Amino acid sequence: MTESDSATAPRVSEKGAAAVTMRNVDKAFGDNVVLDDLDLDVDPGERVVIIGPSGSGKTTILRVIMTLERIDSGSITIGNAPLYHMADGTTPANEKRIREVRSHIGMVFQHFNLFPHMSALENITLAPVKVHGVARDEAEQHGMELLHKVGLAKHANHTPGELSGGQKQRVAIARSLATRPAVMLFDEVTSALDPELVGEVLGVLKDIAEEGETTMMLVTHEMGFAREVADRVVMFDHGKILESGTPSQIMNEPEHERTRSFLKAVLAH
Amino acid sequence: MSGLLLNPSQYQRLLEGAWFTVQILGYSFVLGVFLSLVFGVLRLSDNRIVRGIALTYTEFARGISSIVLLFIMAYAVPILMGLPQANLTLLASIALGLNMGGYGAEIIRGGILSVPRGQTEASIALNLTNNQRLRHIILPQAMRVILPPMGNLTIEILKGTALVSLIGLVDLTGAEALAFNGQAAPTFEGVRHSRAVFDLNVLVMYFVIAQAINLLFRRFEARIDARFESRKGEIAPVEDAIGASK
Amino acid sequence: MSAQASSSEPMIEHRSIWKRPVTWVAIVAFVAFLVILYVLGTRELTFGTDVAPDPNLKWDWPYVISLIPDMLNALSVTAFATVYGFILAVILGFFLALGRRSQSRWISWPVSGFIEFVRSTPLLIQLYFLFFGLASATPIRFSSNQALILGLGIHYATYCSEAYRAGINSVPGGQWEAATAMNLKPSTTWTRVIIPQAIPNALPALGNYLVAGFKDAPLGFAINVTGLMFFATTVRGRDFRPIEPFLMIGVGFLLVSLPAAWLIRRLERRISYDRI
């Protein structure tokens, strides 16, 4: 998956991660401008945490990278491969092209979105087998390894209905890891969990950040986690990046008043 | 009360008719389910023209009276298409199937819409094709919502099969007429029964078939529900898996 | 989101629905409609035409036009049976729904059984039973129209009872509890709290059953009702033209049921807006 002769495959670093480059990205829902001429660069293997007020559009950043929403204008590049354009960089992409580049991106959702009619293992092996042509045995073995890594090997045959929120989210993480993506997106993955279950998921994320090599972009309110794991924290508000820096820079010495007040409000809990 | 029961030979005739009823129900059902799937999905297409065509079909198929459609298929279509020898059973099945498809498409569409958006988004994130998403993710979950009304619809089609007796096919209703009128023949042997007794017997027979359909659908629903529960079976020992990869 | 108790009376004095002139105008118009329908629908019709169809054409427009008056007459019979049958269904269906909800097993089981039996079996056989069957075994003799109206009424009463049941079940449990807390009599609970909320929810389904009843009413021709199917088969038999009459009534049905279905959908949307 990480080595490919196809000229359209995003170039990944030797560690299996790809850069994400967003240029002049605009996205509006009706009159509501959510992404306003956005520029964002993420290096291969970088861990970027995006913070900001609710409704500021930070989730939309992840969603347009995952192509759940389409951008109105601008460009997004994964590695060296444009996502919304053909290889020449200007012709709008067709569905085939989008699928090619998208196969290198994975996402974990706030509400898990596991397939309820499949077991944990089946959830994990579906994409490798059906989309990436991996043999079933190999996929199941890899899937069991991932389940073991997230601490849920015993639950391989359980369906999501029988799992707790934290367990579901860990399965969801394993599911997106199974396709070995070069870029992983995490959309408020602990926000829907009961407080006592948040820790187990954050633990898994930390393990991935330490061992794994993929580029990670996370939208989260978990500041402690951001401080430990992030290479860079980006403050996002009203469609634009307000400021960006290392965790200690942003959290201890924010430049903008809005960042300050936001952090105060979030850290007050 | 033996007064309510028919003669064995009469029952035999009715059972032959009932068998034909089940057959024509089967043909109509197959066509109906096929049309329902196709047009139910097309109704949700991104393409406006495709959506419009699908809507036209479902509106037409639901708006027309089944008996009128049956008569048009049986009497008008062969002449319009220049096929006077066309198979009446086939035409009747097509009429009933077309009718069923209109209602079934709405059921399928409703079922697909009932699946949460997050399932679609997860499928996109995993890069499944649209067909894969429909087959593996959406439809299996939509089934829970689709099956009960589909069962009711199938029973409605069962009731519709009685209409084919009016175009000369010998289903259960047609067999009733033959058996009852056969009592007027001078060669008739056995007890003669009133029309009321015949009607009641036939009603009961339809009722039995309907309950059988109900049972089949319930079984199917239970099988679908089972998919949402944990799998039985051995899990491969984790130690081996880890040892092999490291 | 819980629904408001939208039916409870405001404290302000307002004109009861019975005092408003619109109500009476509507009632009078409706009764007049029923009477006209009855007069038109109970005529004994024969269908004759002076225009001979052209045997060389598959579709003969002047011929079709000449058939329209007869078709309209036949329509009045079919419409008559549909409307009267539906009125019976709406009333009978309500009692069936109540019977099904009865606390007593002696009532609810037979009623449920009856509903299930009638719903699962063909209307055609039920019509045969009412018209031929009863006449053969009892002193009861129904005319064709009577048997059709009775048959439609009973058959669709079972559907309507389901619609009422769904409507009643859709009223939030809290409404019942509030009524108990206010110590309302059962009759008051029903007439002032439950039914006013249940009926709007049931209306779209009832409307659909009216349209369905209209499409089923032509079955009456199997028991000699001189409605639209009788018109079509008579014309076909007499003039040997199967295409025009059947397509005419086919289009006729579409012309009625498509706008009706559209109206019902609009009604459904308006009702769901009010509920929120």
C179 occurs within a structural domain: yes
Taking the CA of residue B62 and the nearest CA in chain A, the distance in Å comes to: 32
| Rounded-to-integer distance, Cα C165 and Cα C202, Å | 8
Of C120, C124, C136, the CB nearest to B194: C136
- Second-level CATH architecture of B2-245: Orthogonal Bundle (1.10)
Q: Which residues on adjacent β-strands are paired with residue A222?
A: none
C13 occurs within a structural domain: no
C15 occurs within a structural domain: no
Is B76 touching C (CB cutoff 8 A)?
Answer: yes
Taking the CA of residue C23 and the nearest CA in chain B, the distance in Å comes to: 32
C1 occurs within a structural domain: no
Taking the CA of residue C44 and the nearest CA in chain B, the distance in Å comes to: 22
Structural domain including C90 reads 77-275
Is A123 touching B (CB cutoff 8 A)?
Answer: no
Is B207 touching C (CB cutoff 8 A)?
Answer: yes
**In terms of CA atoms, which chain B residue is nearest residue C127?**
B199
3-state secondary structure of A113: coil
Q: Do chains C and A touch (3 or more CB pairs under 8 A)?
A: no
CB contact under 8 A, B235 and A109: no
Nearest residue to B70 via CA among C237, C232, C85: C232
| Rounded-to-integer distance, Cα C216 and Cα B66, Å | 8
Contact of B202 with B14, CB cutoff 8 Å: yes
CATH number at residue C83: 1.10.3720.10
Of B121, B125, B242, the CB nearest to A145: B242
Q: What chains are in contact with C, requiring at least 3 Cβ pairs below 8 Å?
A: B
Which pLDDT tens digit goes with each residue over A216-241?
Answer: 999 998 888 988 999 999 999 888 88
ipTM, 2 dp: 0.89
Q: What is the DSSP letter of A51?
A: E
C166 occurs within a structural domain: yes
Query: How many domains does chain C fold into?
Result: 1
Residue type, position A225, single letter: F
The pLDDT profile of chain C, 276 residues, written as one tens digit per residue, is 444 445 565 566 666 777 778 888 888 998 998 998 888 888 877 776 667 777 777 778 888 888 888 888 899 999 999 999 999 999 999 999 999 988 899 999 999 999 999 999 999 999 999 999 999 889 999 999 999 999 999 999 999 999 999 888 888 888 888 888 988 888 888 888 888 888 888 888 899 999 999 999 999 999 999 889 999 988 888 888 788 889 999 998 999 889 998 888 888 888 766 554
Taking the CA of residue B162 and the nearest CA in chain A, the distance in Å comes to: 39
CB contact under 8 A, A176 and B125: yes
Q: How many CB pairs under 8 A join B and C?
A: 121
Nearest residue to A19 via CA among A235, A155, A215, A266: A215
Nearest residue to A106 via CA among A166, A146, A71, A55: A146
Is B216 touching C (CB cutoff 8 A)?
Answer: no
Is B194 touching C (CB cutoff 8 A)?
Answer: yes
